[in-house]
Amino acid sequence: MNSFLRRSFCVASGLCSALTFTLQAGERPNIVFIIADDIGWDDIGCYGNPVVKTPNIDRLAREGLKFTNAFLTASSCSPSRCSIISGKYPHSTGAAELHTPLPASEIPFPLLLKESGYYTAQAGKWHFGPEVHRAFDLYTDENGYQNGNSGSELWIPFLKERPTDKPFFFWFASHDAHRPWGADKFHITHDPADIRIPPWFADTPETRQDMASYYNEIARFDDFVGKVRAELERQGVLDKSIIIVMSDNGSPFPRCKTRVYDSGMKTPLVVFWPDGITEKGAVTESLVSAVDIAPTILKLAGVEVPEGYQGKSFIPILDDPSAAIRSMVFAEHNWHDYEAHERMVRTSDFLYVRNARPHLTNGGPADSKGSPTQHALNRVRDRGELTPAQADIFIAPRPREELYDVKKDPLQLVNIASLPEYRDMLVAMRNVLDDWQSGTGDTTPDDLTPDWYDRETGKALDIERKRGTMPGK
């Protein structure tokens, strides 16, 4: 274990007091956190996708550490990002639903870095609300998708303009790969004929083109990741810097974004740290959650973690990829264009889902509803030719409980909750979820926020938009 990790463990175990544990600026790592928008976990080359072109992220993985069981707490943009930055589950942040701001009562971890002497800056997509401004010395507060821009155009200028007498933390947030597409004229393009079609899509020319455009956005995101690495190297600080790359939720396609299956909730997570990861190119199967990001970064920077944070530091995994910090992860699906209340618990072997609104369809967000991929599925449905995997997004009522053996069924296509041989596992997972909901103050309000968009077309409803009661205390 390197000396910096030893010091971090010292803080974590309470063996060093806050007064005696001080790090010189030169010893504290620079940290660049890069988050994609709507990129699925397996839509990166190093995660097994043979078509998408992501050479820069792939290189970071070869020279760093790749996580294959990293999970988000919500497959929904702002709840996911607010959860990451606050170290809490969405229903515990006060920002459980899409487009709800993080309250001033929550403590964004970059604020603690800033108060400890770090220079902190954010560039690209915001989606936190105004109370998080105080966490950054410099920020863009940019949420729109203007002219198909990536949202990454200021990453390098911000790096060049930073003060050189402080360690730094950058939160770089791309708009790629959020709809509408804007990268089809990017210098890397993908051939629709090469695309692998998931079993829950219809294999049609428009679906293939839709996915090729999505891959083009991923390639543009990857290109900016490469530019960040090159700039750090040009400045001579790459070896003393940590680069973390992940996504905020699943891809903007049917059965992906907003869903609690792996297709929605699993995220790519690559950590590159030349000075701190000794086993270059290692792969860890250890379970980690998005709420673990904040305590990990704080401890790496030698900053005390607030008592209210709900995550766990995964520093032990950086030192030993076989280490385990948790046996299960939890996630939730709340309002994102449509009324919803799902909870899930995932272990290395099983996925359990509880749905408090089983009478409703679970078809994904409005932007996905208007996609060519969705339109192709609608035509297959209208012909009565849907496969069971394709039919999932149209089903209502849905099961109140779902259980999947992810070792035998990695795509989570066969619900085994009703099988007698899995009864004991079903009860155990049910009890685990009960304990988590009780322990974190989760609730199931009767008056959840209703639909604001049409469930068939994704078009805005002509209604007065009112929010209901958000889950959580």
DSSP conformation class of 130: G
Give the model's pLDDT for residue 122: 98
Class of domain 331-440: alpha beta
Looking at CATH, the fold of the domain delimited by 3-18+28-326 is given as Alkaline Phosphatase, subunit A (3.40.720)
436-460 confidence digits (pLDDT tens): 999 999 999 999 999 999 999 999 9
Identity of the amino acid at 432: V
For residues 254 and 71, is the Cβ–Cβ distance under 8 A?
Answer: no
Nearest to 190 by CA among 226, 222, 221, 214: 214
Nearest to 274 by CA among 11, 18, 60, 98: 60
Give the model's pLDDT for residue 153: 94
83-99 confidence digits (pLDDT tens): 999 999 999 999 999 99
Rounded CA gap, 378 and 390, in Å? Answer: 10
- The sign one gets for the Cα dihedral 254, 391, 69, 336 is positive
Kindly write down the DSSP assignment for every residue of 9-55, as one continuous string: HHHHHT-S-TTT----TTTSPEEEEEEESS--TTSSGGGT-SSS--H
The domain limits of the chain are: 3-18+28-326, 331-440
Identity of the amino acid at 454: D
The Cα-based distances of 455 to 46, 250, 319, 362 in angstroms read 35, 19, 47, 9
Rounded CA gap, 321 and 318, in Å? Answer: 6
Rounded CA gap, 282 and 268, in Å? Answer: 14
- Asked whether the predicted pLDDT for residue 25 surpasses 90, the reply is no
- Mean of pLDDT values over 375-385: 98
Nearest to 178 by CA among 227, 249, 128: 249
More reliable by pLDDT, 279 or 25: 279
Lowest mean pLDDT, pick from 102-106, 188-192, 212-216, 423-427: 188-192
- Asked whether the predicted pLDDT for residue 3 surpasses 80, the reply is no
256-276 confidence digits (pLDDT tens): 999 999 999 999 999 999 999
- Mean of pLDDT values over 49-73: 98
SS3 at position 201: coil
**Locate tokens 């905020």: which residue?**
248
Give the model's pLDDT for residue 456: 97
Measured in whole angstroms, the distance separating CA 279 from the mean position of its chain's CA atoms is: 25
SS3 at position 414: coil
- Residue 124's DSSP bridge partners are 173
- Mean of pLDDT values over 309-332: 98
Number of separate helices (H) and strands (E) present in the chain: 14, 13
Nearest to 36 by CA among 244, 227, 246: 246
Lowest mean pLDDT, pick from 6-20, 24-38, 57-71, 187-201: 6-20
Question: Residue 144's pLDDT band (boundaries 50, 70, 90)?
Answer: low
- Asked whether the predicted pLDDT for residue 4 surpasses 80, the reply is no
Question: Residue 7's pLDDT band (boundaries 50, 70, 90)?
Answer: very low
Token readout for 305 is 């973690």
CA trace torsion 331, 336, 339, 345 (10° rounding): -10
Lowest mean pLDDT, pick from 3-12, 222-231, 265-274, 287-296: 3-12
Give the model's pLDDT for residue 146: 67
Question: Residue 313's pLDDT band (boundaries 50, 70, 90)?
Answer: very high
Kindly write down the DSSP assignment for every residue of 56-112, as one continuous string: HHHHHHHHSEEESSEE-S-SSHHHHHHHHHHTS-HHHHT--STTPPPPTTS--HHHH
Question: Residue 17's pLDDT band (boundaries 50, 70, 90)?
Answer: very low
Q: Average per-residue pLDDT in the chain?
A: 93
Q: Calculate what percentage of the chain has a pLDDT beyond 70.
A: 94
356-375 confidence digits (pLDDT tens): 999 999 999 999 999 999 99
Give the model's pLDDT for residue 147: 67
Beta strands in 162-297 (DSSP E): 168-173, 241-247, 269-272, 282-284, 288-289
| pTM to 2 decimal places | 0.94
